[in-house]
Structure 1
């Protein structure tokens, strides 16, 4: 029975990840820590918590606030009663200005995007790492850190995404990919699986709305499957993609290049 913490759980992919985790038997996923920036869980997360038979615990967490992140880790430590944390999913992210010219990208946009998509992930990961290290998972399983990224952050595939006018977002995801590899390298000898995964182009506020390929639950279901199946030997330090039929083979499940 594993515990999982998901950042950015109030809407979009994060909310769907909570839903998909809750559908699993409690013997597979026990406690689900769902975070939001607000002191109280917003709708519809609050309704989900009320129907979860106490499996979902709300945690206030603002990834841009170091003191708040520390307080959130302390709260989870108390709630876990010494059992630690088994899986951390860094899902919270942002995508703001849309301007095709990198030279026209504002400094405020780049700084804000990096602060959430990169610095925030590092803050959360470093704060919760002690809880992951004391995880009571079975010796045959690994502790997992999963960073939600995008193929728009692939430098090798940058020519494919030239039409997507979100330079700050692309830069931040490329940086997140390197952050993932750095953590994977540091923790490789400590029974960790640290990897990045693209959930696909989702019909969320951050994604492409109704123009995007996939309903949020489709991407979330695939992310959860891959997270549960991940092993250190196969997935540590890897860039994963989902597997969904159709869409011209876009989501083939083949690992994208960095």
Structure 2
């Protein structure tokens, strides 16, 4: 039985992760800690239907005190057991239509997308060290790829790209520090999703599709994924614009 913690679980991809995880048999997923600044009605309904397997934990990723308190609450709920999988999903994306020169959201984006991931990961490392899987997945995007920057330039979200690239670098540093302990840290690209963050109906996939395909990787064998930047695999989409071919995206 595996335990999960998902940040930013009130809506979008985070909510879809919780939905997909709790739909799995209890013998496979014993607990899902769904963290959010403010729980949504949809998340609260999932709790009611989960037979106790979904637990809402209040957590604000830009507030270290909130994160530390959340870690204490999760530890109590686990009753001496470790946390198996952490999914750093909470993120922010704002659009700057007049280009990088008018970007004024970099500090806030960095607080959420980089510092938030660092603070949450650091706070939950002790519980993950007691877990059986020791997986930390930080949700990224191929928009953060410096190699692919020219192709991604059409998307007017420079602060998002810059901070997700920094988050990718953070992921690699954690991967190197903890590889000897059997950890797997990865920056995972779930595809272009029809969420508020992702751009709505213009995108390729629903949040539910992105969550399901991401979980194929998250729940799969960990071998070779530490410090990597995998993309989802969707048959028939290998040669499309975003190439959902399961390969590692270039940094």
TM interval, shorter chain, is over 0.9
Q: Which residue of 2 aligns with 1:182?
A: 173
Contact 1:86–1:144 at 8 Å: present in 2 too?
yes
Change (3 A) 1:102 1:192: same
SS in structure 1 at match of 2:230: strand
Give 1:119's aligned residue.
115
Gaps of 5+ in 1: none
Q: Deviations for 1:149-182, whole angstroms, at most 9, x for unmatched residues?
A: 0000001111110101100000011001000000
Q: Is 1:256 aligned to 2:246, yes or no?
A: no
Q: CA deviation at 1:97?
A: 3.2
TM-score w.r.t. the length of structure 2 is 0.96
Matched, 1:220 2:216: no
Work out the CA distance in 2 between the residues paired with 1:11 and 1:257: 29
Unaligned runs of 5+ in 2: none
Give the conservation status (yes or no) of the 8 Å contact 1:6–1:14: yes
> Residues of 2 paired with 1:30 and 1:224: CA distance?
16
**Normalised TM-score (structure 1):** 0.94
Q: How far apart, in 1, do the equivalents of 2:128 and 2:110 lie?
A: 25
- What RMSD in Å do the two structures reach over aligned CA positions? 1.0
1:6 aligns with 2:6: yes
- Offset of 1:100 from its aligned partner? 4.7
Distance in 2, matches of 1:54 and 1:68, equals 23
Report if aligned partners of 1:153, 1:170 keep a CA contact under 8 Å in 2. Answer: yes
**Is 1:99 paired with 2:97?**
yes
Alignment partner for residue 241 of structure 1, among 221, 231, 237? Answer: 231
Task: Please give the alpha-carbon distance, in whole angstroms, between the structure 2 residues aligned to 1:85 and 1:230.
Answer: 18
- The answer as to whether partners of 1:3 and 1:29 remain within 8 angstroms in 2 is yes
Give matches, 1:1-258, under 5 Å.
1-38=1-38, 41-106=39-104, 109-135=105-131, 137=132, 142-231=133-222, 233-247=223-237, 248-249=239-240, 250-258=243-251
Moved over 6 A (4+): none
Contact in 2 for aligned 1:100/1:164 (Cα 8 Å): no
8 A contact 2:2–2:29 mirrored in 1: yes
Provide the secondary structure at the position in 2 that maps to 1:117: helix
For 1:100 and 1:157, how far apart are their aligned partners in 2? 21
User: Equivalents in 1 of 2:93, 2:235: separation in Å?
Assistant: 27
Q: Which stretch shifts more, 8-17 or 247-256?
A: 247-256
Per-residue CA deviations over 1:180-213 (Å, capped at 9, x if unaligned) read 0000000000011110101100000000101111
